[in-house]
């Protein structure tokens, strides 16, 4: 059980990406030694001076399925985890690599004299993957909620066990084929406390639609909405389906339609600015929402960093309302979802279950 390779303080010993400055890394031969990891955490905390206080509001567990996935998620996890001080346990399980290996990297993040994040990255390949779950159980801080960021498909025994033990599980159905929403809906029907970054992505569309119907001269249309149509960029995505699912769950006998149009502008995603901008339109993201409430039609669409709501009746139409899209920073959506530390978002559950019913044809 003992680690057979000596610890290196701040220097990599395993193949792969360089660790962060101040990272302590250990490789285990057979199984994870949780006690050794706790000891390394203590050392990491005490480095650079007397042991400072540690502030934690949750256990943030990220379950990812290869190193590349972890690298893509790393910044968002760190930023979100700093906004919500936590112990971050990143479990990277790569069964595709046959050779067995088990490595733990440990570091801390300090802020204002306190430790605001303890980070443990457990990477396992081959059959060593089976050790990760029990290692995670041993490393959880007591008395704190456990929120799991799930990087895989929303199915399987592991996820079922996670659903039973976690206070909340956050997925991103926008990063997966929309057909997987059916599996998400099944879990939600059984009461799983799921959250979804794709759901957080459509908050501005929901706000614009709701605020537009609050305008005094447009309230008369609230009871007349008959049809909703969503256009997605390039391909039908989960965000569009969730938006329609939400509308269907809120408005009785609503006819819905979803389609894809155009393509995604890769160049716009490359722009780099001093001040963060709204996220560029991605594949499958919502580009237009149209609500038909005869004799009026409401068209919500995106123009650069704004969402605009146009209303047309017997006239040429006018711009009724607009909102600014929030600036996109790493971890923003995750940090939003982490504000709900336990339990279900009932609105999301209803929307996702309704969205799943729009599959497989989705009336495209």
Partner 1 sequence: MPYAPEHDEVPNPLRPGLRGDSAPEPCAVVIFGASGDLAHRKLVPALYNLAIGAHLPAAFGIVGVSKTPYTHEEFAGEMREAVGRFSRTKPVDPEIWQDFGAGMRYVPGSFDDPDTFARLRTQLEELDRVRSTRGNRLYYFATPPSAFPTLLKQLKAAGLISGPFDTRFTRVVIEKPFGRDLPSARALNRLVLETCDERQVFRIDHYLGKETVQNLLVFRFANAIFEPVWNRRYVDHVQITAGEDLGIEGRGRYYEEAGILRDMIQNHVLQLVCLSAIEPPVAFDADAVRDEKIKVLRAVELFDSPEQVTRNVVLGQYAPGSVAGADVPGYQQEKDVASGSRTPTFVALRLNVRSWRWDGVPFYVRSGKRMPKRATEIAVHFRPVPHPLFGEGATQPNVLIIRVQPEEGIALRFSAKVPGERFRPRTVSMDFRYGTTFGAASPEAYERLLLDAMRGDQTLFTRRDEVEAAWKIVGNILKVTESAEFPPPHPYPAGTWGPDAAEELLVQDRRAWRRL
Q: How far is the CB of 214 from partner 1 (least distance, A)?
A: 6
Which stretch in 62-70, 90-98, 135-143, 319-327 sits in contact with partner 1 by CB under 8 A? 319-327
297 counts as binding partner 1 under rule CB under 8 A: no
327 counts as binding partner 1 under rule CB under 8 A: yes
330 counts as binding partner 1 under rule CB under 8 A: no
Contacts of 107 (CB under 8 A, 6+ apart): 19, 20, 22, 23, 24, 44, 119
CA distance 132 to 15: 19
196 counts as binding partner 1 under rule CB under 8 A: no
Instruction: Provide the Cα torsion 33, 34, 38, 39; round to 10°.
Output: -20
325 counts as binding partner 1 under rule CB under 8 A: yes
Neighbours of 111 (CB within 10 A): 11
Q: Two tokens at 131? A: 């050790």
Collapsed DSSP state (helix, strand, coil) of residue 118: strand
| Contact present, 139 and 34 (Cβ < 8 Å) | yes
CA distance 355 to 359: 7
Which stretch in 8-16, 130-138, 229-237, 243-251 sits in contact with partner 1 by CB under 8 A? 243-251
User: Which residue of 223, 267, 270, 315 would you call a contact of partner 1, by CB under 8 A?
Assistant: 223
Q: Two tokens at 111? A: 């802020």
> ∠ at Cα 234 (244, 271), nearest 5°?
110
Cα dihedral 237, 194, 122, 112 sign: positive
137 counts as binding partner 1 under rule CB under 8 A: no
User: Which residue of 49, 275, 316, 361 would you call a contact of partner 1, by CB under 8 A?
Assistant: 275
Q: Two tokens at 148? A: 């799991």
Which residue from 147, 124, 144 is spatially nearest to 134, judged by alpha carbons?
Answer: 124
Q: How far is the CB of 116 from partner 1 (least distance, A)?
A: 6
User: Which residue of 204, 237, 284, 362 would you call a contact of partner 1, by CB under 8 A?
Assistant: 204
Beta carbon nearer to partner 1, 35 or 327 = 327
| Contact present, 77 and 88 (Cβ < 8 Å) | yes
| Contact present, 38 and 71 (Cβ < 8 Å) | no
216 counts as binding partner 1 under rule CB under 8 A: yes
211 counts as binding partner 1 under rule CB under 8 A: yes
* Distance of alpha carbon 162 from the chain centroid: 16
Beta carbon nearer to partner 1, 132 or 230 = 230
String marking each residue 140-179 x if it binds partner 1 according to CB under 8 A: ----------------------------------------
Q: What is the DSSP letter of 217?
A: G
Beta carbon nearer to partner 1, 36 or 322 = 322
55 counts as binding partner 1 under rule CB under 8 A: yes
Q: How far is the CB of 117 from partner 1 (least distance, A)?
A: 8
User: Which residue of 274, 314, 316, 360 would you call a contact of partner 1, by CB under 8 A?
Assistant: 274
219 counts as binding partner 1 under rule CB under 8 A: yes
Beta carbon nearer to partner 1, 19 or 204 = 204
306 counts as binding partner 1 under rule CB under 8 A: yes
**What is the DSSP annotation of 237-305?**
-HHHHHHHHHHHHHSTT-EEEEEEES---TGGGG---SS--PPPP-TT-EEEEEEEETTEEEEEEEETT
342 counts as binding partner 1 under rule CB under 8 A: no
Which residue from 294, 295, 299 is spatially nearest to 319, judged by alpha carbons?
Answer: 299
74 counts as binding partner 1 under rule CB under 8 A: no
User: Which residue of 64, 209, 236, 355 would you call a contact of partner 1, by CB under 8 A?
Assistant: 209
Beta carbon nearer to partner 1, 36 or 312 = 312
| Interface residues toward partner 1, by CB under 8 A | 53, 55, 79, 82-85, 111-114, 116, 200, 203-204, 206-207, 209-211, 213-214, 216, 219, 222-223, 225, 247, 250-251, 273-275, 277-278, 305-306, 319, 321-327, 336, 339-340, 345-347
């Amino acid at each position: 059980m003992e680690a057979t390779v000596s610890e290196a303080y701040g220097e990599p010993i395993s193949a792969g990406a360089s660790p962060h400055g101040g990272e302590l890394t250990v490789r285990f031969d057979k199984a994870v030694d949780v006690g050794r990891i706790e000891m390394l955490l203590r050392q990491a905390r005490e480095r650079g001076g007397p042991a400072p206080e540690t502030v934690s509001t949750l256990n943030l567990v990220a379950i990812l399925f290869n190193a590349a996935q972890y690298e893509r998620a790393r910044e968002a996890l760190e930023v979100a985890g700093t906004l919500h001080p936590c112990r971050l346990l990143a479990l990277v399980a790569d069964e595709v690599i046959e050779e067995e290996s088990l490595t733990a990297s440990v570091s801390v993040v300090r802020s204002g004299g306190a430790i605001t994040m303890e980070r443990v990255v457990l990477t396992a390949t081959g059959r060593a993957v089976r050790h990760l779950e029990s290692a995670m159980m041993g490393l959880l801080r007591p008395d704190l909620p456990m929120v799991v960021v799930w990087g895989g498909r929303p199915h399987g025994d592991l996820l079922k066990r996670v659903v039973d033990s976690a206070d909340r599980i956050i997925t991103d159905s926008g990063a997966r084929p929309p057909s997987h929403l059916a599996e998400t809906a099944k879990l939600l029907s059984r009461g799983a406390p799921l959250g979804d970054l794709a759901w957080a992505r459509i908050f501005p569309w929901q706000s614009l639609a709701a605020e537009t119907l609050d305008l005094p001269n447009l309230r008369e249309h609230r009871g007349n909405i008959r049809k909703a149509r969503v256009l997605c960029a390039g391909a039908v995505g989960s965000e569009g389906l969730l938006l329609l699912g939400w509308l269907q769950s809120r408005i009785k006998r609503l006819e819905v339609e979803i389609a894809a149009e155009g393509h995604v502008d890769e160049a716009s995603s490359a722009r780099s600015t001093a001040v963060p901008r709204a996220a560029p339109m991605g594949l499958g993201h919502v580009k237009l929402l149209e609500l038909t409430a005869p004799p009026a039609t409401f068209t919500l669409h995106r123009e650069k960093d704004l969402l605009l709501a146009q209303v047309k009746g017997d006239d040429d139409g006018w711009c009724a309302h607009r909102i600014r899209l929030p600036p996109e920073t790493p971890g923003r959506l995750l940090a939003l979802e982490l504000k709900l530390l336990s339990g279900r978002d009932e609105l999301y559950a209803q929307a996702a279950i309704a969205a799943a019913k729009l599959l497989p044809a989705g009336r495209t």
